């Protein structure tokens, strides 16, 4: 087991890729703290992990709210004593191009995706430094941090910011034995992807058009991305710092 006796906090762990990460980490021996604002899916995921013999707790947290992030970290440390691994997965998407994006929409996407990654990273790093055990932080960027698209303006901004912040944080935290990296998933079959398709007004047509863009002619699976997150979180990647590791089925090399 790669994460035995480690405690991992996974934001967005109630659904999609974050849920696959929470399950895989628990299978690898970690105590898992799931932080999400989807209470029913979060409780259900934690309880399913426990029923398989793992250790997991759900903590309600809207990551766009700084106060809820502070509370979640306090409760997770009360429950598990420390945090060794942080996975910043929670995010929102907004399929709007530049000219249609309002100030409020831009701020909301940035708060949920970029500012939450900053706050969780800074405050968890302080705990890790205090506990003197080092640690590993895995952020979620996206292929959209690497290529453009007609829509998703605020999402592009947030994910580009996360990729760049990951490099700066990796340098800042290197002296404390804390590694910071990011994974950049390609199009992955999750509730979020289905929601994105719904937002276009024609779910099936949108899914077909997303699929047509995939060099592999299939979507990624959450468990495929979770394995990359495990690599970055564990000592298997002990010489990897500030990476933004693409796991996109070749989307960005075409
Ligand atoms: N699925 C893809 O195709 C894809 C592609 C590139 C990057 N990503 C990134 O991977 C990560 C996971 O994506 P996914 O497709 O699994 O998403 P998803 O929408 O299926 O799941 C996201 C999870 O985050 C939670 N969440 C959203 N906003 C939150 C908030 N304000 N506070 C707390 N929790 C919140 C949701 O409740 C949900 O459990 C995200 O960072 C996303 O940007 C996904």
pLDDT score recorded for residue 246: 98
Looking up tokens 């691994």 gives 85
158-to-52, 139, 144 alpha-carbon distances in Å: 36, 12, 9
* Of 17, 33, 143, 213, best ligand 1 pocket probe by most atoms within 8 Å of the beta carbon: 17
Q: Please write the tens of the pLDDT for every residue from 135-172.
A: 999 999 999 999 999 999 999 999 999 999 999 999 99
Q: Please write the tens of the pLDDT for every residue from 76-104.
A: 999 999 999 999 999 999 999 999 999 99
Average per-residue pLDDT in the chain?
98
Percent of the chain with pLDDT over 70: 100
**pTM for the complete prediction?**
0.99
Atom of ligand 1 nearest to the CA of 15: 39
Q: What is the mean pLDDT of residues 32-55?
A: 98
235-to-86, 132, 165 alpha-carbon distances in Å: 14, 16, 22
CA of 147 to the centre of ligand 1 (A): 19
Residue 182 main-chain phi, psi, to 5 deg: -135, 155
pLDDT score recorded for residue 253: 95
The Cα–Cα gap between 98 and 9 comes to 34
Q: How confident is the model at residue 18 (pLDDT cuts 50, 70, 90)?
A: very high
> Do residues 139 and 181 lie in contact, with contact meaning Cβ atoms separated by under 8 Å?
yes
pLDDT score recorded for residue 101: 98
Who's near 253: CB < 8 A, 6+ residues apart? 215
CA of 19 to the centre of ligand 1 (A): 10
**Alpha-carbon torsion, ordered 102, 199, 34, 167, to 10 deg:** -50
Domains of the chain as residue ranges with CATH: 7-185+222-247 (3.40.50.720), 193-219 (no CATH)
SS3 per residue for the chain: CCCCCCEEEEECCCCHHHHHHHHHHHHCCCEEEEEECCHHHHHHHHHHHHHCCCEEEEEECCCCCHHHHHHHHHHHHHHHCCCCEEEECCCCCCCCCHHHCCHHHHHHHHHHHHHHHHHHHHHHHHHHHHHCCCEEEEEECCHHHCCCCCCCHHHHHHHHHHHHHHHHHHHHHHHHCEEEEEEEECCECCHHHHHHHHHCCCHHHHHHHHHHCCCCCCCECHHHHHHHHHHHHCHHHCCCCCCEEEECCCHHHC
Q: How confident is the model at residue 243 (pLDDT cuts 50, 70, 90)?
A: very high
Pocket around ligand 1: residues whose beta carbon is below 6 Å from it? 12, 14-18, 36-38, 61-64, 89-92, 112, 140, 142, 185, 187-188, 190-193
Question: Cβ-count burial of 223 within 10 angstroms (0-12 exposed, 13-18 middle, 19+ buried)?
Answer: middle
Q: How confident is the model at residue 7 (pLDDT cuts 50, 70, 90)?
A: very high
**pLDDT above 90: residue 254:** no
Residues catalogued as catalytic:
155
Atom of ligand 1 nearest to the CA of 41: 39
> Do residues 18 and 90 lie in contact, with contact meaning Cβ atoms separated by under 8 Å?
yes
Q: What is the mean pLDDT of residues 198-220?
A: 96
Who's near 75: CB < 8 A, 6+ residues apart? 59
Q: What is the mean pLDDT of residues 9-37?
A: 99
């Amino acid at each position: 087991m790669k994460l035995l006796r480690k405690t991992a906090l996974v934001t967005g762990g109630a659904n999609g890729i974050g849920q696959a990460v929470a399950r895989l980490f628990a299978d690898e021996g970690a105590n898992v703290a799931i932080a999400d604002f989807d209470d029913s899916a979060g409780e259900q995921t934690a309880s399913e992990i426990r029923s398989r013999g793992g250790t997991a707790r759900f903590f309600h947290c809207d990551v766009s709210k700084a106060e809820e992030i502070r509370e979640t970290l306090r409760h997770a440390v009360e429950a598990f004593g420390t945090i060794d691994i942080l996975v910043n997965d929670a995010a929102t998407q907004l399929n709007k191009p530049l000219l249609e994006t309002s100030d409020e929409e831009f701020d909301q996407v940035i708060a949920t995706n970029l500012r939450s990654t900053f706050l969780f990273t800074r405050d968890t790093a302080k705990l890790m430094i205090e506990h003197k055990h080092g640690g590993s932080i895995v952020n979620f960027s996206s292929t959209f941090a690497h290529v453009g698209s007609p829509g998703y303006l605020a999402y592009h901004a947030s994910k580009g910011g996360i990729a760049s912040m990951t490099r700066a944080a990796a340098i800042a935290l290197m002296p404390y034995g804390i590694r910071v990296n990011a994974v950049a998933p390609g199009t992955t079959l999750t509730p979020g992807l289905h929601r994105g398709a719904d937002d276009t007004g024609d779910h099936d047509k949108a899914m077909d058009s997303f699929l047509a863009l995939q060099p592999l002619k299939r979507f990624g699976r959450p468990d495929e991305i979770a394995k990359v997150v495990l690599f970055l979180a564990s000592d298997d990647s002990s010489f990897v710092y500030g990476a933004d590791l693409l796991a996109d089925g070749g989307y960005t090399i075409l």
